[in-house]
Each structure stands twice: as structure tokens, then as C-alpha cells.
Structure 1
């Protein structure tokens, strides 16, 4: 049994689904378990705005061949990238002066926490809002779909960003899938958690589900999952 770690920021779930789908379609694997969890609350400084919606969460999915048309499968995806923002969001500690010295050290370091530069803030506003939505519109154009055809599960950093994506898709998605008001920002676990929670508690209205995931350096991935395809 292989254990394969995947580190792709907040688009981990989409990346794992794409890798799993490729391995299974190629006959290199029969069953794949995807497990994703995040402890974001331990990676933010509670003096910063980024901590406001911080939460922890986890989710999992089993991927395998199936003749059950009710099961979701990976239908297509679209990714947009702008690497000019590389390094504008990161985790690191602060260098602190200790006076008197601590055990002989006059320089000590704080725990690591999420940091964002001014360039990162600009990228969050421009790429994170406008350009990221291009992954969704590109995917819809590629597959001949519109917002009317889909349930939309966006990344849930903030309600403001979710509202922007909703308001700037035309026509608007038939259903918005978000648990930010219930679970806050569970970062890497967002899509695995939300898919499981909605299937169990609320229901996903459409048979075509588009997930939008972000990565800080920066990329955005839109993935189309489908079910109930009979042809």
C-alpha cells in the first residue's frame, strides 16, 4: 500500500481527486482513500485579520470504479496560475530579542504563523477574486454549461469573497454550497468536508458540481464532478 503525501495548498482535494482518477483510469490502482485535515487555528496569529475565520476540519473520500450512476466522478477541470505572487503568503516565525537572554540566547523565535505581504494582499483582492473566477468560467465554457446547470462549492476564506463569486457568475449558480457560517474557514478540508456534510444533511441539488479551490502562490482550480450520467 502506498501512502502519497500531496501538498498543494487549499486545492489539495482537487489535486488528490485528479491524481486518483488518473491512477485508477490507467489501471495502476483499484481503490484510493483520500484523507485531508487541517489545523489552521494553530497556524495563525490572533492579532491578525487572517485569524478571524480560522477553523480546523477534516474529510475523506474513497475513489474506485463503480457502476452506480449516483456516485460522483471527475468530469473535467480548469486551472489558472499567476506565479508572480510566489512567496507573498507564507508561514514563518518572528525574530525576537530576549533581554535578559533566555538560557544564554539573546535572539529567540516565535512559533510559525501565517503571514501575508502587501503584494499578497493585492493578489488576494485581484487574483483571488477576479482571476480565480476565470477558472470557473473557463470550465463552464469548455463543457458547454452555465451557472443554471451547476451547484457551486467555492473556497470559503470569507463570506465577502463567496458573495463576489456568486454575484459575478452570470447566470448565477443554481445552488451555492458553503458551510462558512457553520464551520468557518477550514482551508484544505473545505471541499471534502462540505461534500460529505451536504450529502448527509442538506442535499446537492444538481448533478453537476463545480468546486473552486485556491492556492496562495497563486493558482485557482475549478473541478467539475458529475453523477447520474446514463450515456
Structure 2
């Protein structure tokens, strides 16, 4: 019989520091209406707490913690890992990615292939797909997928999206299994919107002063996330409606109804999440928006880990949105 690949165990880790809605960091928010008459920060609703790294704290440490929890839950040792997929965003270096540091800190075998996947925010889902395909093709046995986000250090706190951003790390072990089997996946690329969501070096303006953000640890210029007017339009247009279209097509292709699935999506705004729930009709929409905020690329493994032992539906659908522009979805059979 063909080998099926599934998620054997999950783990997650978040910094201890918490920001609430009245945190002074949000005092500089631009609350003017944009060209579409929308106040950007008002789109990001439903948040209460977000986690952020303390000075000197590194997201790789949380990735290691999440990975070890996933290994323990899977009953798998470090020596069993043949491939390490994932990504650190924002990385310390343009290359190599911090995933190599995670490999070192975990003590993974020297012959374990390290595969950085730079596809914000679908890094985790893309890692799952590649790991599962390697198992099914007989090219690898057990793989580890781990991602970490330190976006609070690379956000523009005058822009509305910043009210949602949170730091976190999540991981999953993938191997031969008949539980949480990766049944199918779907991907939609809208590359004409390439410039809408970017992470780059750029000048910021605050209180009438224009400056280049600097990394306090190195004294060097630091990259900052930017959601342009096009990005805002995409969020409220092609992403808002494109995600449920992709998910429903994936479900139809596999003969699955919305009421059979637990849904995990990007979680930046309750407004968007409610819209996606209405369009897909899942049995339950799993999230940690109020507690953990928008963890960007770590959102998906953290939520899978957080709810892993309590899922009581036949299927799980995880749907990610991301830069480029793209939407990704995977279907897991529980």
C-alpha cells in the first residue's frame, strides 16, 4: 500500500512579554482614512494581547523550544530527523538563514538536509507539503518543519497593521502516519501584486522627522515591513475573497464539506476571519487571535499545536495568505 504522510506531533513557543491595546507603542498610529475611506488600524479587530521579544532575546531560541516539544509529542528523537524545513523571519543575515542555527542548537544529525523556505507567510505550509511529498516518494522518513517570526522588531508603528503583530515560533514533525495525513493542497499566485506587501530597507517618518530604522544590537539599518495602498486593497479584495474560493475548491476536489473541517487561517483581523468562516462554513474556526495576535508565518503551526489534541472533526484545513501575492491551503485528514 502507498505510504501516507502526516503530522506526528506539534509544538509552539512565544515570548513572555505582552502588549495590550493601550500600549504606548501604538500612540503614533496614523488614524486618517485612506483613499478608500478606511482607517487601516480599524481593520485589525479582535485583539487583546500580543507577544514580543525582549531586548537580546532571539526567536531561534523559541524555535528550538517549539521543535523539542514537537519531537517529544511525536515520540521522535533528534537523530531520527532527516530533513529540516522552515524559516526565520526576519533573519539575522541575508544568508544563511537562522534555520541553520536551529539545526545546530537542536543537535540534529550532520546529514540532515536543511531547507530554508522563504515564502511568507506560507513557509510552514510549504514545508509540510515538501516534507509529506518526500515521505510519499520514499526519499525521506521523518522531517521537522519549524518557523519563527520576530516581526515586532520590523514593523512600522505608524501603520495600522502594526497593532496586530506578535512574535512566535511553531513546529511540526512529519513522517509516515495515518493521522493528520496531508491529503491535498492548493496554491493561488497573484504575482501582479508583487509590490503590495514587502519587507525592505526604507525611511520612516515620525513626528515630522524622517529617519532610517536601525537595529539596536548592530547599529546597522534594519528592514521594515510595508503594506502599501495596493497591499491594503489586496487585503480587502483578492485576499478577502480569494482565500475562501481556494479553500472551497480544495474541499470540492476531495469531496469534503465545510462542516467536516476545523479551519485555521491567517489571523490578523476578526473582520476577515468572520468573512472567511461565512464563506467556507467550517464546523469550527480555530484561532488564538485575542491571546496571541497576528504571528505572521508562525500563526499556522502555533494554532495547529495549540488545538492539536482537541480537534474533533474529520479534517483540518489550514489556509495562509502571503507576500508575492499568494494564498495557500492544505487539507489534513484527522
Name the TM-score class by shorter chain.
0.7 to 0.9
Q: Distance in 2 between matches of 1:162 and 1:96?
A: 30
Q: Distance in 2 between matches of 1:198 and 1:192?
A: 10
Q: Does 1:73 align with 2:181?
A: yes
Unpaired runs of at least 5, structure 2: 1-111, 214-221
Q: How much does 1:168 deviate?
A: 2.0
Q: Which residue in 1 is equivalent to 2:173?
A: 62
Q: Distance in 1 between matches of 2:237 and 2:197?
A: 15
Q: Which residue in 2 is equivalent to 1:178?
A: 287
Q: How much does 1:96 deviate?
A: 7.7
Q: Distance in 2 between matches of 1:55 and 1:165?
A: 22
Whether the 8 Å contact between 1:80 and 1:134 is mirrored in structure 2 is: no
Q: Does 1:10 align with 2:10?
A: no
Q: Match for 1:40 among 148, 151, 155?
A: 151
Q: Does 1:53 align with 2:156?
A: no
Q: Which residue in 1 is equivalent to 2:192?
A: 84
Whether the 8 Å contact between 2:119 and 2:323 is mirrored in structure 1 is: no
Q: Which residue in 2 is equivalent to 1:102?
A: none
Q: Distance in 1 between matches of 2:176 and 2:200?
A: 42
The number of residues matched between the two structures is 211
Q: Match for 2:273 among 156, 162, 182?
A: 162
Alpha-carbon deviations, 1:141-188, whole Å to 9, x = none?
Answer: 11111111111111112111101101222xx21111011111000111
Q: Which residue in 1 is equivalent to 2:212?
A: 109
Q: Distance in 2 between matches of 1:94 and 1:154?
A: 29
Q: How much does 1:40 deviate?
A: 1.4
Whether the 8 Å contact between 1:37 and 1:58 is mirrored in structure 2 is: yes
SS of the aligned residue for 1:168 comes to helix
- TM-score, L = length of structure 2: 0.60
Alpha-carbon deviations, 1:51-89, whole Å to 9, x = none?
Answer: 1011011111111113xx4x2110011112211101111
Q: Distance in 2 between matches of 1:58 and 1:95?
A: 28
Q: Match for 1:137 among 248, 265, 289?
A: 248
Alpha-carbon deviations, 1:94-122, whole Å to 9, x = none?
Answer: 3489xxxxxxxxx9732321112211111
SS of the aligned residue for 2:122 comes to helix
Whether the 8 Å contact between 1:34 and 1:60 is mirrored in structure 2 is: yes
Whether the 8 Å contact between 1:77 and 1:221 is mirrored in structure 2 is: yes
Q: Distance in 1 between matches of 2:312 and 2:118?
A: 31
Q: Which residue in 1 is equivalent to 2:333?
A: 226
3 and 95 in structure 1: CA distance in 2 versus 1, 3 angstrom threshold: same
Whether the 8 Å contact between 1:151 and 1:177 is mirrored in structure 2 is: yes
Whether the 8 Å contact between 1:89 and 1:115 is mirrored in structure 2 is: yes
SS of the aligned residue for 2:118 comes to coil
Using CA pairs under 8 Å that are at least 6 residues apart, name the structure with larger relative contact order, 1 or 2.
1
Whether the 8 Å contact between 2:156 and 2:204 is mirrored in structure 1 is: no
Whether the 8 Å contact between 1:83 and 1:218 is mirrored in structure 2 is: yes
Q: Which residue in 2 is equivalent to 1:93?
A: 201
Q: How much does 1:50 deviate?
A: 1.1
Q: Distance in 2 between matches of 1:87 and 1:42?
A: 21
- TM-score, L = length of structure 1: 0.86
